[in-house]
Amino acid sequence: SPRDKKYKRILLKLSGEELMGTEGFGIDPKVLDKMALEIGQLVGIGVQVGLVIGGGNLFRGAALSAAGLDRVTGDHMGMLATVMNALAMRDALERSNISSRVMSAIPMSGVVEHYDRRRAVRFLNSGEVVIFSAGTGNPFFTTDSAACLRGIEVDADIVLKATKVDGVYSADPKKDPTATKYDRLSYDEVLDKKLGVMDLTAICLCREHDMPVRVFRMNKTGALLNIVVGSNEGTLIEE
């Protein structure tokens, strides 16, 4: 029997790195299939899912710039990388019979549709997974900011940020054995303690618009579904 859902509409942010599996670059279709399955469970209990996927498995503007490329060009490449990831995710979702759409902040006629908030909300209401790609469409931003922006725009109940660690810690748990996990943090604590969960633009945007963020570990099986039915996985960031 379907469990009671806590959220009607979520914005899930996946980093590009989540898609590469055990490889150091690119996309692992097996990982995508597993994610599609987990997203399908949410759709199955009637949760509306907006998705933002990063591009760090392919290109990051800052890294390209450090290697000598023009920063804005590098950011454009990073945003295009997110479109590739979105196409791969749509493919995996549709193979699992989950209707989905890719919208892009950068018009790319014939490949994906251009982002339009009202259309996005209509698709979400009709139960389609909407993948928001090309970030915000602007250089010098990240897909964390894009996730928070789209989440706020489409009036999601929460932004769920999937990471490699199971929440926000006082220090890097891989380097510092005394690091402790926070169950809850305020936006100001994240900023004051310089916790580096998300970039500052993203946190400020959420604080300004009262958008809660939950940071959790995606490759822990069932974590996503648990959160959506109300369990306290990971760390909640709110007022």
Task: Give the residue from 161, 129, 130, 133 showing the smallest Cα distance to 53.
Answer: 133
Residues in contact with ligand UDP, counted by CB under 6 A, come to a total of: 24
Minimum CB–partner distance for residue 105 and ligand UDP (Å): 7
Quick one: which of 27, 35, 75, 158 contacts ligand UDP (CB under 6 A)? 75
Q: State which residue has the least CB distance to ligand UDP.
A: 54
Spell out, one character per residue from 107 to 146, where the chain touches ligand UDP: x when CB under 6 A holds, - when not: ----------------------------xx-xx-xxxx-x
SS3 content of the chain, % helix, strand, coil (to 5): 40, 20, 40
Asked if 167 interacts with ligand UDP (CB under 6 A), we say: no
CA dist 112 and 32 (Å) reads: 19
Minimum CB–partner distance for residue 188 and ligand UDP (Å): 23
- The arrangement of strands across the sheet holding 129-133 comes to 113-114, 100-104, 129-133, 48-53, 9-14, 158-163, 213-217, 235-238, 184-186
Interface contacts to ligand UDP, rule CB under 6 A: 15-17, 54-56, 60-62, 74-75, 78-79, 81-82, 135-136, 138-139, 141-144, 146
